[in-house]
Amino acid sequence: MGTIDIFFQGENIPQFGTIEADPNRPIGEVCAEVIAKHGGGDAIVVFVEDADEPVDVVVTVAELSKKGPVKVHFHRCRHVEVSVSYGGQTASKRFGPGATIARIKLWAAVHEFRMTPGDAAEHLLQIKGTTDRPSSSTHVGSMVKCPHCAIVFDLIPHARVQG
C-alpha cells in the first residue's frame, strides 16, 4: 500500500498544508514531524477535522483514513470558545480547534438562530470588528493563538447584487 495524504492546519499554520504518510504510521509521529517544521512545542494536541476531542496519538493514519480524507488540526488549545452575534442576540459554544467554519455557521444559523437551511445558506460568518470572512473549510483554530482560545463572529447576509 502507498502513502496517504494528510491535510492539516494549526495554530501556527493558517493555510492548509499536506504531508504524505505511511498508512501504518501513528498520527502522533506525523504531528511531531509537522511541529518540527512549523513550530509549536510539546503541548500540541491533534484533532480530526470537526471533532471536539483530541485523537489518540497512537491511532494510525490508516485508521483515520477509513472515514475519508485525513484532515487534522494541530493546536495547544483543547477548545475554542466561539461566539456568534445575529439580530441583537449572541450564542456561544465551545468547539475543538479543528471545527470548520461551515460547521460553526450551521450550528449558529440553524440551531441557535432558528434559520431554515436555505436562509442559512445566504449568510456567512465574519470576524467581529473586521471584514475578514473565512472560507467554510477553514479550521477555527487557525484563527486563534493560545492562551487566547476564543473568537467572536457576526452572522451576516451575503452581499446581494440587484440586477
The helix/strand/coil state of 21 is strand
E-only strand ranges, the chain = 4-10, 13-21, 45-48, 70-75, 80-86, 89-95, 123-127, 150-157
Q: Where are the domains of the chain?
A: 4-75, 80-157
Residue type (1 letter), 103: R
* Domain pair 4-75 / 80-157, same fold: yes
Pick the CATH number of 4-75 from 1.10.1610.10, 3.30.70.270, 3.40.50.300, 3.10.20.90: 3.10.20.90
Q: Tell me the CATH class for 80-157.
A: alpha beta
Whether the link from the prior residue into 147 is cis, omega within 30° of 0, is yes
Q: pLDDT tens string for the chain (163 positions)? A: 689 999 999 998 889 999 999 999 999 999 889 888 887 777 889 999 999 999 999 999 999 998 778 999 999 999 999 999 999 999 999 999 999 999 999 999 999 999 999 999 999 999 999 999 999 999 999 999 999 999 999 999 987 665 5
CA 97 to each of CA 45, 127, 163: distance values in angstroms, whole numbers, following the listed order: 10, 16, 40
